[in-house]
Amino acid sequence: MEIVVFRDPGEVGQHAAQMFARQIRSNPKSVLGLATGATPLPMYRELIRMHRAEGLDFSEASSFNLDEYIGLAPDHPQSFRHFMQTELFDHLNIRPERTHVPDGLAVDVEVACAAYEAAIAAAGGIDIQVLGLGANGHIGFNEPHSDFDSRTRVQPLTERTILDNARFFASVGEVPRRAITMGIGTIMESRACLLLATGSAKAEVVARMIEGPVSEECPASILQRHTNATILLDELAAAQLSGVSREPAS
Ligand code: GLP
């Protein structure tokens, strides 16, 4: 893993956006893996700026999001589809039919999960996948003890994740208890993984992910085995690293 530490979340976002922009410029038909949560927002704002100011062109690109809550309609304000529309897609020239988010209202969820996997494969696989990090080490919604070989599937959410995500809902009771998530095996097949973590609340889990054992107790630790994984941190999120694994930001 390459670890790069920046001063603040804004710089993390700028660097992440530059990596995505490089990918898109080198191959306009790139398949982008996208994430929700607060962490990638500075990156998305920078991509929108690059599109407007520099003509970064998404017209031939396609995208696959990591996950979606089960039971929320695409236009529900807390659905991940709604988040992606308002925070990114509506501001780019990406074609709507080429953006993919798991269907939280699928009648047959098993079939929908298999179809999602098939769509990723049909697109040629994901070129670059951006990831956030749950406080319990989850990536996507792959909670602790998820199988490292897991594929897109239904994942019951842990109490910790439900509480963490309650800040986006009127009350904790409104947070869905289950989600569809790409599996860890699915994520690991991305040709490049780019994990972003910012803020002091992530410092402990960042240290476990990078310096702890590769263990299903900390799903993100599997990135230690990815051949092209980059971890972008701000100073606060890097605070509990021993220092050996840190590289200065360039
Ligand atoms: C959710 C998402 C994850 C995300 C995590 C962290 O649980 N399913 O993909 O990484 O939250 O969110 P935040 O970036 O807001 O800390």
Which contiguous run of DSSP H or E holds residue 81? Answer: helix 80-87
19 contacts 230 by C-beta, under 8 angstroms: yes
Q: Where do the domains of the chain lie, and which CATH numbers do they carry?
A: 2-234 (3.40.50.1360)
How far is the C-alpha of 102 from the C-alpha of 132, rounded, in Å?
17
For the residues of 13-60, what is the DSSP string, one character each? HHHHHHHHHHHHHH-TT-EEEE--SSTTHHHHHHHHHHHHHH----TT
Task: Give Cβ neighbours of residue 54 (< 8 Å, ≥ 6 apart).
Answer: none
Q: Which residues of the chain have pLDDT under 50?
A: none
**Residue 201 CA, closest ligand 1 atom number:** 16
Q: Which of 199, 200, 158 lies closest to 181 in space, CA to CA?
A: 158
Is 138 part of the annotated catalytic residue set?
yes
Phi, psi (rounded to 5 degrees) for 156? -65, 140
Is the model's pTM score more than 0.75? yes
- Tally helices (H) and strands (E) across the chain: 7, 11
132 contacts 35 by C-beta, under 8 angstroms: yes
Residue for token digits 């910790």?
Answer: 160
**Distance in Å, CA 177 to ligand 1 centroid:** 15
How far is the C-alpha of 224 from the C-alpha of 214, rounded, in Å?
7
What pLDDT shows up at residue 250? 55
How far is the C-alpha of 52 from the C-alpha of 217, rounded, in Å?
42
153 contacts 63 by C-beta, under 8 angstroms: no
**Distance in Å, CA 50 to ligand 1 centroid:** 24
**Distance in Å, CA 133 to ligand 1 centroid:** 6
Q: Of 46, 68, 143, 164, which residue is the catalytic one?
A: 143
What pLDDT shows up at residue 243? 76
